[in-house]
């Protein structure tokens, strides 16, 4: 019922507790009044689009009850008040549009002094360092207000002045999602540029999965697969302008205290490379095993390139193997090539982690099918991340209710020190 010049208010009774309404699409009309508070009772809603109307008032906090909600569009109205934090509870949400309203509620970025960060890291001592990577060194620190954070001390960042850097940080800081690592603040003094992130207790997926300290059971891996896909889908489809990650890999998927996957380092490539959609040869050489084949010809980043890299991460979760491992695949092959060869030979079960097959072999095969679709050599044949999320939905994925009983032996921080890790060793 969109674009029909509908007028009046949305009736409070349109949302009935326990009702079967799945789509509430009334965008591009002339609807006035406020959003019904009863909307939080309609728990089967998947798509709510009220954009481009004349709605006023606040967004009801009850929206946080809509666990099946995938798309929420309320842009171009006159809504006011705080953005309800309860929206973060919508575990299926992949598209959020609240643009062009009079809303508030984002946590402004903290402008921290260099002296403050120097004190918090004990002079950036080796004892507080928890990781190194292509963008710099990472330190664990406790700020004066008691908050534990990860501080990234950037290196090799050129081509941006103070104003451009601050504008870029403010843009990245506004990007909030339950499956993204939030930027809390930054510091710029002289040539020093430091970013302050929320600290992730378990470190990177790469360190937990490949560097010992315990094993992830299938419930944990499934939750990480869906969470990282949801975070990447948000970057691709909900951010304006859309964000291409450029460096998706298991060391850039961090795990919070509840083993929720958080995608990190999105937007970082723009700090080191002013060309928005292009990569250099050195950047390509920095992430072997994750780079889609077309990048070696065009050097142009696309969302479909990110999808390929996500497919590698999914393959890591299913097989338990590293993307590059000469002892496993030889010098002239990698995880993707090895898995595709087994697939062609009808030996897909040999790809899966042997310790998980007995309990979850059939379900893992379904996930493997999705991984192969993401890893198609032809970019146009790969799904979008929204389509990946839809495929997970068809499998009735509910990672919140999966037991994660294989984590008791995992040491905090994963025992790793993986690339660009924001967790503890």
Binding residues for ATP: 153
305: number of Cβ within 10 Å = 24
Q: Which helix (H) or strand (E) holds 130?
A: strand 129-133
Gap between the Cα atoms of 24 and 71, Å rounded: 10
Gap between the Cα atoms of 171 and 267, Å rounded: 9
125: number of Cβ within 10 Å = 9
Gap between the Cα atoms of 320 and 211, Å rounded: 11
Nearest to 310, CA basis, from 381, 254, 228, 195: 228
For 111, counting Cβ atoms within 10 Å of its Cβ (0-12 exposed, 13-18 middle, 19+ buried), the class is exposed
Cis peptide before 241 (omega within 30 of 0): yes
By 3-state DSSP, what share of the chain in percent is helix, strand and coil, each rounded to 5? 35, 15, 45
Gap between the Cα atoms of 117 and 149, Å rounded: 10
405 is annotated as an active-site residue: no
> Which ranges of 320-351 would DSSP assign to H, the alpha helix?
326-329, 335-344
Strand order in the sheet with 148-154: 110-111, 183-189, 192-198, 148-154, 136-142, 129-133
Gap between the Cα atoms of 1 and 124, Å rounded: 58
Residue 87 DSSP label: G
Identify the three-state secondary structure at position 145.
coil
**β pairing state of 136-142 and 148-154:** antiparallel
Q: Please answer whether residues 208 and 414 qualify as being in contact, where contact means their C-beta atoms are separated by less than 8 angstroms.
A: yes
Bridge partner residues of 87 (DSSP)? none
Residue of 102, 145, 162, 247 marked catalytic: 247
Catalytic residues: 247
């Amino acid at each position: 019922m969109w674009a029909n010049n509908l007028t009046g208010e949305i009736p409070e009774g349109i949302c009935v507790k326990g009702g079967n309404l799945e789509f509430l699409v009334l965008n591009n009309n002339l609807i006035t009044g406020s959003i019904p508070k009863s909307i939080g009772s309609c728990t089967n809603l998947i798509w709510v689009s009220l954009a481009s109307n004349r709605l006023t008032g606040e967004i009801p906090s009850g929206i946080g009850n809509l666990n099946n909600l995938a798309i929420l569009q309320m842009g171009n109205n006159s809504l006011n008040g705080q953005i309800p934090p309860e929206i973060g509870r919508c575990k299926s949400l992949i598209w959020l549009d609240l643009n062009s309203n009079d809303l508030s509620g984002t946590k402004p970025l903290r402008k921290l002094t260099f002296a403050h960060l120097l004190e918090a890291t004990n002079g950036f001592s080796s004892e507080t360092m928890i990781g190194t990577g292509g963008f710099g060194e990472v330190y664990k620190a406790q700020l004066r207000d008691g908050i534990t954070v990860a501080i990234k001390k950037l290196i090799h960042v050129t081509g941006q002045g103070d104003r451009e850097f601050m504008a870029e940080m403010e843009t990245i800081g506004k990007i909030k999602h339950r499956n993204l690592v939030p930027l809390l603040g930054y510091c710029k003094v002289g040539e020093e540029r430091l970013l302050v992130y929320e600290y992730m207790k378990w470190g990177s997926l790469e360190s937990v999965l490949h560097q010992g300290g315990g094993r992830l059971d299938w419930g944990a891996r499934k939750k990480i697969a869906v969470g990282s896909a949801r975070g990447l889908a948000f970057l691709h489809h909900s951010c304006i302008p859309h964000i291409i990650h450029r460096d998706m890999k298991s060391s850039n998927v961090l795990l919070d205290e509840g083993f929720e996957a958080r995608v990190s380092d999105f937007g970082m490539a723009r700090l080191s490379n002013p060309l928005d959609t292009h990569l250099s040869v050195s950047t390509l050489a920095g992430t072997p095993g994750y780079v889609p084949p077309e990048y070696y010809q065009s050097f142009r980043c696309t969302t479909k390139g990110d999808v390929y890299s996500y497919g590698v991460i999914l393959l890591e979760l299913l097989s338990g193997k590293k993307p590059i491992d000469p002892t496993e695949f030889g010098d002239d092959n990698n995880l993707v090539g090895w898995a595709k060869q087994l697939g062609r030979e009808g030996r897909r079960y040999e790809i899966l982690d042997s310790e998980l097959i007995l309990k979850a072999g059939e379900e893992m095969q379904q996930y493997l099918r999705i991984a192969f679709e993401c890893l198609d050599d032809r970019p146009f044949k790969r799904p979008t991340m929204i389509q990946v999320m839809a495929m997970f939905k068809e499998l009735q994925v509910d990672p919140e209710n999966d037991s994660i009983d294989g984590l008791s032996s995992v040491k905090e921080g994963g025992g790793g020190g993986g690339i660009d890790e924001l967790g503890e060793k």
